[in-house]
Structure 1
Amino acid sequence: MLSSRFKIGMYAGAVGAVFGLASYRFYRHNDPTALPSKEQILVGTLVQGLSSAHYQPERIDDAFSKRVFDLYLKRIDYRKKLLTQPDVTQLRQYETKIDDETKAGTHEFLDLSTKLISDRTKQMQALTHELLAQPFTFDTDETFQTNFEKSTFPASAADQREQWRKLLKFETLTRVAEMMDEQDKRHDRAKTASQAKEPVTAEPDRTPAQMEVEARKRVQKYYDEQFADTPDANETLASYANTIANTYDPHTEYFAPKDKDEFDYQLTGRLEGIGATLREKDGLIYIEEIVPGSASFRQGQLKKGDAILRVAQGATEPVSIEGWHTAKAVTLIRGKKGTEVRLTVKKPDGSTKIIPIIRDVVINEETYA
């Protein structure tokens, strides 16, 4: 039988074909001479398709609008690192108007949220360079909330700056600790090799101060890559459309045009990856299912309910995928058979773990008729 995901993809295509012309007519009523924008057509098509073709239609009203608002806010700034409370207050004027915008063919909320995220991203990138240009000292007791679900949006620009200072200091300290641990392990390996009269490759030790300098460089490189990987206009629109679809029904998704690998997988049930089904919830990517016999299944440490925080290709610096939509996260996690991907996951008990998995061919028998 066909997988449910494949059915959704076929359904979405049918909805687009049926309702595309309808949405074009729908958006011309405000200005008969104006051509509809991509945003108008996509959102209008999606909402009309769900309302008309879904097995259990839902009211598109203020309550629906509030749920879309809350979910989208989590997705665009899950870790509360970019927006301030005044920004959120500014966006909140649309909290009960998203339903009206879909009917009127406007997208002011999407435009404003996109602009705010873009502006704050540039500002925070400059701030990280400023803060990481100076060494940190670790002789002062400070507290930092690492659980972003419990954190709040900073009240002001000054509050935001202080939160970033603590975050960067924490991440620098974490990398210093990792380097110290690796240096200790190197000493142990050298001692074991010496006792066995095996050749030893001597590596110079680094002082804590030298490690701190290197750690700040690594943190800066990590955030520069994060800031450079901002979604383009199509990805932003797809994320917004997916938020509406997920709010309407958690099991309904909008799929943007996929590449050849995804198309081949839907037809043949074969791809190269780790063998896990993913789902996005509240800004995090969760493991929904482990494919029996897959690379993840054989490795044994990745479990249903784990949240993937970061993805690294082999020994490279990990990339945070918090706030990403599922399709984008998949592009990092999939890869050629025989290559290694290292997933930093958050377990249901709150602990974190780095799980290395060697990718392999994944066969999903459900895609066969």
Structure 2
Amino acid sequence: MAPTRLKLSSYAGLAAALFGLASYRFYERRGAQDPPSKTQVVVGTVVQGLSTAHYQPQRIDDAFSKRVFDLALKRLDYRKKFLLQTDVAQLLKYQADIDDETKRGTTEFLDLSTRLLAERTKQVQVLARELLAQPFTFDADENLQTDFEKATFPANAADQREQWRKLLKYETLVRVAEMLNEQDKRHDRARVASLKHAPVPAGPERTLAQMEVEARRRVLAYYEEQFADQPDANEVLANYANVIANTYDPHTTYLAPQQKDDFDFQLTGRMDGIGALLREKEGLIYVEDIVPGSAAYRQGQLKKGDAILRVAQGAAE
């Protein structure tokens, strides 16, 4: 039997067309002024496709809705460091309503969860910069819950600040320990080399305070990169569609168009997008065949066996 993701992908085009048509008719019957959004069509297509094509279809009911909700919340903030308990309380209102949303063609839960996370992420970014701007001291006896399954969402902003202070302090301490360990290794190498009458400089000795400053800088750089790498609208949609798909089983996956193309290329080594079948060989892309009637066929410059060295648009080289 073909993997589930392949089966789902094979139904995607037909399901999208059918659901898109059904969605427009549904909105027309409701007298809605606007056609369904891309998000509504994709979510509806995924649900409809899984309901008809999955080898073990599920009832789209409140129990299904709760499973989607639990998985969505876990993936939204698995470390429980961004959302507050008040945010979770807002989202809980949709726990048993996601199935109804798919039938109504609405995405209120997705929209609210996306907005809340974006707002909290901006706030936490400011908070992290503020906390890492001041040195930490490591002489206090404190506890930090590192098992995110056992952790709880912060009760309020003050609780969130304290949780982040402990987390950033811990991550700074880990990096200080790494630098101390590396400095000890350099000393050991220098000592062994001196016994062999081949002295190796141990490098400049750094104090604990200097290491703490460097450790905070590294932690900040790491989080700045994480904060900058926020999903765009298409990624948010794909993530949510995958939550729904994974509710059926962990091996059922939604692939956005570009991801589907990448997956097909990794699986077969072939790409079909410009009217030519391409294959990668020894680091180069070769034209394996030209699709009759395609743009590449009509244009006439690409030939079977050609190697593609670079791609340009218009007059660009």
Q: Partners in 1 of 2:30 and 2:93 — Cα distance? A: 22
Higher helix share: 2
Q: Partners in 2 of 1:268 and 1:2 — Cα distance? A: 18
- Would the alpha carbon gap of residues 59 and 8 (structure 1) be closer, same or farther in structure 2, given more than 3 Å must change? closer
SS in 2 for 1:189: helix
How many percent of aligned residue pairs carry the same amino acid? 67
Contact 2:11 2:53 in 1 (8 A): no
SS in 2 for 1:29: helix
State the 1:267 CA deviation: 1.3
The answer for the alignment partner of 2:166 in structure 1 is 166
- Would the alpha carbon gap of residues 267 and 189 (structure 1) be closer, same or farther in structure 2, given more than 3 Å must change? same
List aligned pairs for 1:279-358, cutoff 5 A: none
State the 1:77 CA deviation: 0.1
Q: Partners in 1 of 2:92 and 2:28 — Cα distance? A: 28
Q: Partners in 1 of 2:267 and 2:201 — Cα distance? A: 50
2:192 maps to amino acid: T
Contact 1:27 1:40 in 2 (8 A): no
User: Is 2:107 the partner of 1:107?
Assistant: yes
Task: Kindly provide the CA deviation profile for residues 43-75 of structure 1, in whole angstroms up to 9, marking residues without a partner as x.
Answer: 111112222333332111111111111100000
- Would the alpha carbon gap of residues 258 and 215 (structure 1) be closer, same or farther in structure 2, given more than 3 Å must change? same
State the 1:202 CA deviation: 4.4
- Would the alpha carbon gap of residues 91 and 2 (structure 1) be closer, same or farther in structure 2, given more than 3 Å must change? closer
TM score, norm. by length of structure 1: 0.69
The structure with the largest alpha-carbon Rg is 2
Q: Partners in 2 of 1:20 and 1:121 — Cα distance? A: 34
- Would the alpha carbon gap of residues 55 and 46 (structure 1) be closer, same or farther in structure 2, given more than 3 Å must change? same
Question: After the TM superposition, which of the residue ranges 44-53 and 85-94 deviates more from structure 2?
Answer: 44-53
- Would the alpha carbon gap of residues 47 and 137 (structure 1) be closer, same or farther in structure 2, given more than 3 Å must change? same
Contact 2:16 2:41 in 1 (8 A): no
Contact 1:245 1:253 in 2 (8 A): yes
Contact 2:69 2:95 in 1 (8 A): yes
User: Is 2:225 the partner of 1:230?
Assistant: no
Q: Partners in 1 of 2:9 and 2:82 — Cα distance? A: 33
2:161 maps to amino acid: R
The answer for the alignment partner of 1:34 in structure 2 is 34
Q: Partners in 1 of 2:45 and 2:3 — Cα distance? A: 24
- Would the alpha carbon gap of residues 54 and 29 (structure 1) be closer, same or farther in structure 2, given more than 3 Å must change? farther
The answer for the alignment partner of 1:20 in structure 2 is 20
SS in 1 for 2:205: coil
Report the count of equivalent residues. Answer: 271
SS in 2 for 1:83: coil
State the 1:203 CA deviation: 1.4
SS in 1 for 2:34: coil
1:234 maps to amino acid: N
Contact 1:72 1:243 in 2 (8 A): yes
Contact 1:65 1:99 in 2 (8 A): yes
Q: Partners in 1 of 2:58 and 2:2 — Cα distance? A: 26
Q: Partners in 2 of 1:49 and 1:255 — Cα distance? A: 13
Task: Kindly provide the CA deviation profile for residues 235-279 of structure 1, in whole angstroms up to 9, marking residues without a partner as x.
Answer: 01111111111113333211112356533212139xxxxxxxxxx
- Would the alpha carbon gap of residues 15 and 251 (structure 1) be closer, same or farther in structure 2, given more than 3 Å must change? farther
Q: Partners in 2 of 1:267 and 1:100 — Cα distance? A: 39
Q: Partners in 2 of 1:28 and 1:246 — Cα distance? A: 32
Alignment RMSD (CA, Å): 2.2
The answer for the alignment partner of 2:241 in structure 1 is 241
SS in 1 for 2:230: coil
The answer for the alignment partner of 1:263 in structure 2 is 264
- Would the alpha carbon gap of residues 118 and 97 (structure 1) be closer, same or farther in structure 2, given more than 3 Å must change? same
SS in 1 for 2:31: coil
4+ runs of 1 displaced by more than 4 Å? 1-5
2:254 maps to amino acid: Y
- Would the alpha carbon gap of residues 261 and 110 (structure 1) be closer, same or farther in structure 2, given more than 3 Å must change? closer
Q: Partners in 1 of 2:162 and 2:59 — Cα distance? A: 43
State the 1:21 CA deviation: 2.6
Contact 2:8 2:49 in 1 (8 A): no
Q: Partners in 2 of 1:136 and 1:142 — Cα distance? A: 13
Higher strand share: 1
The answer for the alignment partner of 2:53 in structure 1 is 53
Question: After the TM superposition, which of the residue ranges 14-23 and 218-227 deviates more from structure 2?
Answer: 14-23
State the 1:14 CA deviation: 4.5
Contact 1:246 1:253 in 2 (8 A): yes
The answer for the alignment partner of 1:81 in structure 2 is 81
State the 1:13 CA deviation: 4.1
State the 1:7 CA deviation: 4.1
- Would the alpha carbon gap of residues 28 and 200 (structure 1) be closer, same or farther in structure 2, given more than 3 Å must change? farther
Contact 1:66 1:95 in 2 (8 A): yes
Q: Which runs of 5+ in 1 are unaligned?
A: 270-336, 338-369
Task: Kindly provide the CA deviation profile for residues 344-369 of structure 1, in whole angstroms up to 9, marking residues without a partner as x.
Answer: xxxxxxxxxxxxxxxxxxxxxxxxxx
Task: Kindly provide the CA deviation profile for residues 276-301 of structure 1, in whole angstroms up to 9, marking residues without a partner as x.
Answer: xxxxxxxxxxxxxxxxxxxxxxxxxx
List aligned pairs for 1:165-184, cutoff 5 A: 165-184=165-184
Q: Which runs of 5+ in 2 are unaligned?
A: 271-282, 284-317
